[in-house]
Chains A and B, each alone.
Chain A
Amino acid sequence: DARVTQTPRDKVTEMGQEVTMRCQPILGHNTVFWYRQTMMQGLELLAYFRNRAPLDDSGMPKDRFSAEMPDATLATLKIQPSEPRDSAVYFCASGLGEREETQYFGPGTRLLVL
C-alpha cells in the first residue's frame, strides 16, 4: 500500500528556531506539493516540484521558508526563523503530474511555534 510519509508528525518549538519537515513521496511519483492548513486560511498551496525542480513557490513566504528536493525520494520544507503565526498543519502530497492529476496526501506535520 503505497503512501506518502511525513516526519515529524508533531513538532513543538520556540519562536526563532529552525524547523525542518520531511516528506517521502510515493515511489514513482514525479510531482510533490507542500500545503499548509489553518483554521483561518484553510488549505494553502505553498510550493510544488516536478522532477525535483521547483515549479511554483509563490505561496511561500520567501524570507523564512525554503523548499527543496535533494533527491526523488525526499522533499524538505524549512522555516528559519520560525514564528508563532507559522503554527499550522503542513501537508505533503505527491502525484504523477501531467499524466495523472490526482494528488495523494501524507498525514501531515502539526507544527506549534511558541
Chain B
Amino acid sequence: AQSVAQPEDQVNVAEGNPLTVKCTYSVSGNPYLFWYVQYPNRGLQFLLKYITGDNLVKGSYGFEAEFNKSQTSFHLKKPSALVSDSALYFCAVFPGADKLIFGTGTRLQVFP
C-alpha cells in the first residue's frame, strides 16, 4: 500500500540550531514529494517539492529537503531554526493519479 510516514509527532529545537523533520515513503515508481507547513488557524502552505534532478531541493523560508531514493526518504531541513518556524509540517507524496498522500504531520517547536 502507498503510504507516507512521519515518525516523529514532535520535534523540539533551540533557536539558531539546525533542524530536521523526517519523512519516509512507500510508493512504487518515482513519485513527486512535497512538504507543506500549517501555522495555527491556517490552511496548509506549500513549502517545496521534488520531482527530479538534484537531490537537494530548496524552498520557502530557508527550508530545504533532501531526497534519498535508496532510503525512500525526503527529510526537511533548515540550517538555523527560528521561533517563527514553529508549526505543523506535513510530508506528502504524489504517486500519480491526482491525489496527494499526506503524512500525519510533525509539530516543530523552536524554543528561544
Q: Do A and B bind each other?
A: yes
Across the interface, do B44 and A101 meet the contact criterion of CB distance under 8 Å? no
Interface size on B, residues (CB 8 A): 18
Which listed residue (A4, A42, A101) contacts B100, Cβ 8 A?
A: A101
Nearest residue in B to A103 (C-beta to C-beta)? B100
CB within 8 Å for A108 and B98 given contacts A101-B32, A102-B34, A102-B49: no
Across the interface, do A43 and B99 meet the contact criterion of CB distance under 8 Å? no
- Please give the residue numbers on chain A whose beta carbons come within 8 Å of chain B beta carbons, in ascending order: 4, 31, 42-43, 45, 48, 50, 55-56, 91, 93, 97-98, 101-108, 110
- Please give the residue numbers on chain B whose beta carbons come within 8 Å of chain A beta carbons, in ascending order: 32, 34, 36, 41-46, 49, 90, 94, 98-100, 102, 104-105
Alpha-carbon distance between A55 and B105 when the two chains are bound, in angstroms: 26
The dominant DSSP class at the A interface is strand
Across the interface, do A4 and B46 meet the contact criterion of CB distance under 8 Å? no
A94: shortest Cβ distance to chain B, in Å?
11
B25: shortest Cβ distance to chain A, in Å?
14
Residue among B34, B43, B99 with most chain A CB within 10 A: B43
Lowest 9 A-B CB distances belong to which pairs?
A: A105-B43, A105-B44, A101-B94, A43-B102, A42-B104, A107-B43, A106-B43, A108-B43, A101-B32
Nearest residue in A to B51 (C-beta to C-beta)? A101
Across the interface, do B46 and A102 meet the contact criterion of CB distance under 8 Å? yes
A84: shortest Cβ distance to chain B, in Å?
21
Across the interface, do A91 and B44 meet the contact criterion of CB distance under 8 Å? yes
